[in-house]
């Protein structure tokens, strides 16, 4: 069987840094063999893209393959994302993207986010005696809320749209180099295809850069986006609902990032000096909440 790399699968894999790739290549060349099999589906690599590229560059290196069975490409994507979510060195943005892609892929594979007795795919892992929605199960598996999962689906769509407009920006966002707000990501989804490139380029502008220094076209586009968002609010309900949605997302994001950071540095969390500093951060949050309870918006 001829093995190939499909972008549809490869772009779901968080890329290695140059140093990580070079170290992997050196290790494989030293061994003279790729120990773990390269996993494929219908001849397309679904796990082991970097190892396969290294094998292509060095024909003398031996490797094996293992062909998995999936009912469709969406199920393969869901498996890839779930497999990658087991890595410990993911950024919060990468984890959110993978959760979103898994959610969207499973919905596409099974006809929506619903309870169903007839879903029997291996990637679904549904307990047929007590079926649960896809978003609920993915939330449970990753220690997040179901609402976080559905928003992650929108986030992953927006990131992909941004990358179509400006290739390479997906890696900038997922690596944490760019940190767009939820509203900025959502604006990309809502924008017409011809407007997305300008919106993505606007994300690259420093947050403290004066609006007057941007081009007139960008200012006009930003104004159009604002009008479009207001129209979307009018169609979808009161602005209060949008405000509360943003605040709810901020709370979920805070909890998610704290849990993510602490769980990946548990040995540091056991240190008293570390916990003392964390409590100082928690005091800062409590102070902020106290001001909000008094009806005051803190300046800092």
At 188-238, the pLDDT tens digits run 777 777 787 788 777 777 665 544 344 444 555 555 555 555 555 555 555
Task: Kindly report the average pLDDT of the chain as a whole number.
Answer: 80
Instruction: Return the higher-pLDDT residue of 20 and 125.
Output: 20
* pLDDT tens for each residue of 42-68: 999 999 999 999 999 999 999 999 999
Give the chain's radius of gyration (CA, Å).
22
Buried b (16+ CB within 10 A) or exposed e, 37-47: ebbbbeeebbb
133 and 255 in a single domain? The answer is no
pLDDT of residue 201: 79
pLDDT of residue 117: 38
167 and 229 in a single domain? The answer is yes
Q: Name, in order, each residue with C-beta under 8 angstroms of 293's C-beta and a sequence gap of 6 or more.
A: none
Q: Is there a domain that residue 253 lies in?
A: yes
212 and 284 in a single domain? The answer is no
Q: Is there a domain that residue 31 lies in?
A: yes
Number of CB atoms found within 10 A of residue 253's CB: 16
- Comparing 42-56, 72-86, 172-186, the range with the smallest average pLDDT is 172-186
Measured CA to CA, the distance from residue 264 to residue 86 in angstroms comes to: 12
- What band does 129 get if pLDDT is binned at 50, 70 and 90? very low
pLDDT of residue 132: 73
- Domain boundary pick from 41, 69, 97: 69
- Domain boundary pick from 21, 38, 69: 69
- What band does 141 get if pLDDT is binned at 50, 70 and 90? very high
107 and 163 in a single domain? The answer is yes
Q: Is there a domain that residue 75 lies in?
A: no
41 and 163 in a single domain? The answer is no
- What band does 261 get if pLDDT is binned at 50, 70 and 90? confident
Q: Name, in order, each residue with C-beta under 8 angstroms of 114's C-beta and a sequence gap of 6 or more.
A: 133, 134
Q: Is there a domain that residue 242 lies in?
A: no
Q: Is the pLDDT of residue 27 over 90?
A: yes
- What band does 99 get if pLDDT is binned at 50, 70 and 90? very high
Q: Is the pLDDT of residue 121 over 50?
A: no
Q: Is the pLDDT of residue 169 over 80?
A: yes
Instruction: Return the higher-pLDDT residue of 202 and 274.
Output: 274
pLDDT of residue 24: 95
12 and 84 in a single domain? The answer is no
161 and 280 in a single domain? The answer is no
Give the residue from 106, 157, 172 showing the smallest Cα distance to 134: 106
207 and 271 in a single domain? The answer is no
Q: Is there a domain that residue 102 lies in?
A: yes
What total number of domains does the chain contain?
Answer: 3
88 and 227 in a single domain? The answer is yes
pLDDT of residue 110: 74
Instruction: Return the higher-pLDDT residue of 96 and 212.
Output: 96
Q: Name, in order, each residue with C-beta under 8 angstroms of 88's C-beta and a sequence gap of 6 or more.
A: 264
102 and 140 in a single domain? The answer is yes
Instruction: Return the higher-pLDDT residue of 200 and 146.
Output: 146
136 and 197 in a single domain? The answer is yes
183 is in which domain, residue-wise? Answer: 80-236
269 and 206 in a single domain? The answer is no
């Amino acid at each position: 069987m001829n093995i190939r790399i499909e972008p549809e699968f490869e772009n779901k894999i968080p890329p290695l840094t140059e140093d990580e790739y070079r170290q992997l290549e050196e290790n494989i060349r030293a061994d003279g063999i790729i120990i773990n099999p390269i996993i494929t589906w219908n001849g397309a690599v679904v796990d082991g893209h970097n190892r396969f590229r290294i094998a292509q560059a060095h024909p003398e290196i031996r490797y094996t393959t293992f062909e998995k069975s999936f009912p469709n490409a969406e199920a393969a994507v869901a498996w890839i994302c779930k497999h990658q979510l087991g890595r410990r060195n993911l950024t919060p943005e990468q984890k959110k993207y993978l959760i979103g892609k898994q959610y969207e892929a499973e919905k596409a594979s099974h006809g929506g986010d619903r309870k169903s007795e007839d879903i029997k795919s291996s990637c679904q892992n549904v307990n047929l005696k007590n079926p649960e929605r896809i978003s609920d199960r993915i939330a449970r598996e990753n220690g997040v809320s179901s609402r976080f999962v559905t928003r992650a689906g929108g986030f992953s769509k927006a990131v992909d749209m941004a990358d179509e407009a400006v290739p390479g920006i997906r890696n900038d966002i997922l690596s944490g180099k760019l940190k767009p707000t939820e509203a900025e990501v959502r604006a990309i989804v809502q924008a017409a295809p011809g407007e997305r490139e300008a919106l993505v380029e606007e994300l690259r502008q420093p947050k403290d850069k004066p609006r007057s220094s941007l081009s007139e076209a960008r200012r006009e586009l930003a104004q159009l986006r604002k009008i479009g968002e207001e129209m979307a609010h009018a169609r979808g309900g009161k602005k209060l609902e949008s405000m509360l949605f943003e605040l709810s997302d901020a709370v979920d994001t805070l909890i998610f990032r704290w849990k993510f950071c602490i769980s990946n540095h548990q040995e540091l969390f056991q240190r008293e000096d570390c916990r003392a500093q964390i409590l100082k951060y928690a005091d800062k949050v409590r102070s902020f909440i106290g001001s909000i309870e008094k009806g005051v918006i803190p300046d800092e």
